[in-house]
A and B are shown apart, each in its own frame.
Chain A
Amino acid sequence: MAEKKVPQTDGAKLRRIAEERLRGNIENEPRLPYEQQRLFHELQVHQIELEMQNDELHQSRADLETVLGKYTDLYEFASVGYVTLDRKGIIHTINLTGASLLGADRFHLNRSRFERLVVETARPGFAAYLEGVFSNQGAKTYELELLKAGVLSIEAVLTDSGRECRIALLDSSERKEAEALRRVAEAATGALLKVEVAAAEALLKIEETLLAPQNVNAEIKIALLKLEKSAKVARLKVKTAAEVAAACFGANETTEATQNLAKAAEAARLKLEKVAEVAQQKVLTAAQVAFRKLTILESERARVKSVLLESEERFRLLVDGVKDYAIFMLDVDGCVISWNEGAKRLKGWDEQEILGRHFSLFYTEDAVAAGHPGQELEIAASVGRHEEEGWRVCKDGSRFMATVLITPIRNEFGSLKGFSKITRDITERKQAEETLKRYAQLLIEQEENLRKSIARELHDDVGQELTALGLNLAYIDKFLLAEAGIDLRPTLKDSRMLAKDINRTVRNLMNALRPCQLDEYGLAPAIRTYVEQYAQRTGLAVTVHAPSDFPRMCPQKEIALFRVTQEALNNVVKHAAATTVAIILASNDVPSIRLSITDDGKGLAPWVSPPPTGSGHGLTTMRERAELVGGKFRLDTAPGKGTSIVIDLSAGQ
């Protein structure tokens, strides 16, 4: 526009151009006097100048209108909304962007109060802001929340006249995008939280429901593990998605980038929601499976419980029905927690008065002082049972000999819950056993006495008589030979030989019945003598080791050990196929002695040890013989490993 004005202001140039154009028409000019001619020329020049200026003005107007259109478009469609308000807040002008931002058409907005577009709570603040603007306090940015447009950033400036202010409405798409992203982030975080909470709750519930009882079956455990794994994977995926979203928000700088980030965030959100959904579904499915199994399990438990109750009832009836045995239970500390009729009958305590009391009541004072009751429980708990025979005390203080079996009771997880105790009065049996033992010992003594008596008679009568017979026959042989003639000599010789043979037989019989050495010299000499004859008879190499001061014992013990030795040596020759036998007699200062008879034979099969009754090896007899005199019998044997019989015995009376 400035260039178009130049010809107007440059009058000389305009005249020069006008005169050049007039010069082209000069031939047509009428012949006028000079003054008239000059005036006419001046008029023509001015006419041309005016025409030229008129053309320029048209051109300028067209240009101006074009520019105005452009500026109008710029104003109307600016990315910023513009609105002009007076002091009263009346809208005087507003561009299309502004109207669009405010969510109304411009027609209705013009001449309306801007304040009506502002949310009510923000109106006092806006009024103060506006007042500040009109007080010429300079332009400043203000966040204003509008009814339809939400929060906008506004910036107002006072016009030159000071009667109006122009407000720029910043429709910040970045802000909107940021808001959208924030919502996405919130959604992502919410989804993540939701998934985590759902997974945690599901796990917790399942763990509480299923894991608390230790008997959750393997399938449920596996399902639970799968569930945990799924939840972990889901959490990981969600976390990854959230991190992607967070990264996108952090990089939010440009509009294009923002759009990309928004897309990425949306994708992350969708992915996250899908993952969350899948995870939740997995959790749900696993939980359903687990609950189904739990239901089955509970149903089975109920059935088992019912069966157990029935069984318990039957057991209770059985236990209560037992009268000859005291059957009761102890808690882990040894206090009585159940009591049957047999216990009442045996020990004299009623159920009500004994429940809760410690079972050491049933023991003798000595046993309690020695801590025996507690030791019994410890042994039972450690080895699985404890059995013994011993004296027990009744309520009235009387005693009875009892056989006791204590068994630990454990729950399904192996925890000790208490003990069952079965007690039986074996006083009569024990007395019978003692009587039997006495009779057995008596029988043995009688037998030994009989043997001794027979041996003595053989020695004192038969042996001496045979000796006498031999002397007589020798005498006859010497003096009657000549008169008796030749026919009697062989008979006499036979008779003398016969007398010797009978004497030898009697001697062997004496030894077999009762070795005289046993009574005269004791066990070791008796064994040596017996072994000597045994070795001659069997051909086995038998050694006897005994200290020179090996003590004498009571006759019952000596004869018992001697008989055991005899029986063991008989076994060796009958069954062992041994080549050597070692007999060792040892003693110590206690004094106690040990007798061992060891062979290198084929040994015994395991089922013979411990010795069964009637095994044919005389083991039971040997054991009984040893035990009758208080000895402890032990048999060590294995196929191919020989056999060793060991007896430990007190050397006292």
Chain B
Amino acid sequence: MRVISILLVDDHAMIRKLLRRHLELQSDFIVVGEAGNGREGIAKAEDLRPDVILMDVSMPGMDGIEATRIICERLPQIKVLILTLYASSENCIRAMQSGASGYVLKDSVDEEIETAVRAIMKGSHYFGMGATDAAGRLFPAPSGRPPCPGLPDISEC
């Protein structure tokens, strides 16, 4: 069984703590590190080279979208799953444009996180409940990474 290494990037320590506890209930998941903002997340990603990064969007300093873009550019093998409170196509699209592989709303994280992590590890895109309506219209069928090339211009949506 291959263990999936996970980096948590969220400015809320409590969330990181509970997510860690929640993820590590899965025997094949291991949280290899935590970061409180985007910049720190990039550094930890370069340092730890996790399989998956669970990335919050709204963070002080560098936000999750920008951090995702940089990470995906520098470390394309790392898959980034966005965790956010914002359920909008706009956020979802920007996240996907930055190179993220999935998009999960935080209010569904307890139910969807394991599925999402496993899905993106298989190379699929994952859009959680509440984000699927909009993002699903843009990416109707999962395709292989990277998601960035060929994405439609958001201005036309």
Q: Interface on A for B, CB 8 Å cutoff?
A: 459-460, 463-468, 470-475, 478, 496, 499-500, 503-504, 506-507, 510-511, 516-517, 520-521, 524-526, 528-529, 532-533, 536, 546-548, 550
Contacts and interface: CB of A to CB of B under 8 A. Distances in A.
Contacts of A510: 85-86
B107 A528 contact: no
Nearest to B19: A471
* Interface core residue of B22, B86, B89, B110 (most chain A CB under 10 Å): B110
A536 B25 CA distance: 37
Count class of interface residues, chain B? 20 to 34
Interface in B97-156: 105-111, 130, 133-134, 153-155
A466 B22 contact: no
22 contacts: A460-B12, A460-B58, A464-B12, A464-B106, A467-B107, A471-B21, A474-B110, A475-B18, A503-B107, A507-B85, A517-B88, A517-B90, A517-B91, A526-B90, A528-B154, A529-B90, A532-B89, A532-B90, A533-B88, A548-B153, A548-B154, A548-B155
Interface in B52-94: 58, 63, 85-91, 94
A499 B22 contact: no
B129 to A, nearest CB: 9
Contacts of A520: 63
A536 B154 CA distance: 19
B107 A547 contact: no
Contacts of B155: 524, 546-548, 550
B88 A472 contact: no
B89 A470 contact: no
A507 B22 contact: no
Nearest to B20: A471
Contacts of B134: 532
Nearest to A506: B85
B94 A500 contact: no
A119 to B, nearest CB: 126
Nearest to A504: B107
Contacts of B94: 521, 525
Contacts of B130: 504
A520 B57 CA distance: 11
Given A460-B12, A471-B18, A500 B85 contact: no
A140 B15 CA distance: 161
B6 to A, nearest CB: 15
B88 A529 contact: yes
Contacts of B3: none
A471 B107 contact: no
B26 to A, nearest CB: 11
Contacts of B21: 471, 475
Contacts of B90: 517, 521, 525-526, 528-529, 532
Contact of B22 (A475, A526, A533, A536): A475
**Of residues B18, B88, B111, which shows the largest number of chain A Cβ atoms within 10 Å of its Cβ?**
B88
B58 A496 contact: no
Nearest to A477: B110
A23 B130 CA distance: 196
Interface string B41-60: 00000000000000000100
A459 B105 CA distance: 12
Nearest to B60: A460
A507 B109 contact: no
B14 interface: yes
Contacts of B18: 467-468, 471-472, 475
A548 B108 CA distance: 32
Nearest to B91: A517
Contacts of B85: 459, 463-464, 467, 503, 506-507, 510
Nearest to B17: A468
A464 to B, nearest CB: 5
Contacts of B106: 463-464, 467, 470, 503
Interface of B: 11-12, 14-15, 18-19, 21-22, 25, 58, 63, 85-91, 94, 105-111, 130, 133-134, 153-155, 157
A502 to B, nearest CB: 8
B110 A470 contact: yes
B11 to A, nearest CB: 8
Contacts of A521: 90, 94
A149 to B, nearest CB: 128
A496 B154 contact: no
Nearest to A470: B110
Contacts of B157: 528
Nearest to A502: B107
Contacts of A464: 12, 14-15, 85, 106
A45 B155 CA distance: 179
A466 B105 CA distance: 12
Contacts of B111: 474
Nearest to B85: A463
A517 to B, nearest CB: 5
A110 to B, nearest CB: 145
Contacts of A500: 107-108
Contacts of B110: 470-471, 473-474, 496
Given A475-B21, A517-B90, A532-B88, A467 B153 contact: no
Contacts of A478: 25
Nearest to A525: B90
A500 B107 CA distance: 5
Given A464-B85, A528-B157, A532-B88, 12 more contacts: A460-B12, A464-B14, A471-B22, A472-B18, A474-B111, A475-B18, A499-B107, A504-B130, A506-B85, A507-B87, A516-B58, A517-B88
A546 B90 CA distance: 14
A528 to B, nearest CB: 5
B12 A470 contact: no
Nearest to A536: B133
Nearest to A524: B155
A506 B107 CA distance: 10
Contacts of A529: 88-91
Contacts of B107: 466-467, 470, 499-500, 503-504, 507
A467 B15 contact: yes
B145 to A, nearest CB: 24
A499 B18 CA distance: 15
A496 B22 CA distance: 15
**Interchain residue pairs A-B with the least CB separation, the first 9:** A503-B107, A474-B110, A548-B155, A471-B18, A529-B88, A467-B106, A463-B85, A525-B90, A529-B90
Contacts of A503: 85, 106-107
A69 B138 CA distance: 157
